[in-house]
Amino acid sequence: MKINTPSRCSLLMSAVLAAFLLSHLQAANAQYVTMSAGLPNKPSQTLTVASNQVASVVSFYLYGTGYLSVMTGGVSNILFSTTAALGLVVAGPATMQLVSQSPSGGDLCTVQLTTQNTPTVISNYVPADAIVIPASATGNVQINLESSPDLVNWTAANPGTYGPSAATNRFFRVRAAALN
Residues 50 and 113 in one domain: yes
Domain membership flag for residue 72: yes
Q: Provide the pLDDT for residue 33.
A: 94
Provide the residue-wise pLDDT of the chain in tens; the chain has 180 residues. Answer: 444 444 444 444 554 554 554 444 444 488 999 998 887 788 889 999 988 889 999 998 887 778 899 988 888 888 887 777 888 888 888 999 999 887 766 788 999 999 876 544 444 555 666 777 777 778 888 888 998 888 888 899 998 888 887 777 888 888 888 887
Residues 100 and 131 in one domain: no
Residues 69 and 95 in one domain: yes
Question: Phi-psi category of 20—alpha, beta or left, where left has phi over 0 and alpha has psi -120 to 50?
Answer: alpha
Q: Cβ contacts of residue 72 below 8 Å, gap of 6+?
A: 90, 91, 92, 93, 94, 95
Residues 144 and 65 in one domain: no
Do the beta carbons of residue 166 and residue 155 sit within 8 Å? no
Output the CA–CA distances (angstroms, integers) from residue 115 to 118, 122, 141, in the order listed.
9, 11, 32
Task: Choose the final residue of a domain: 74, 95, 118.
Answer: 118
Helix/strand/coil percent split, the chain, to 5:
15, 40, 45
> What residue numbers bound the domain in which 159 lies?
127-178
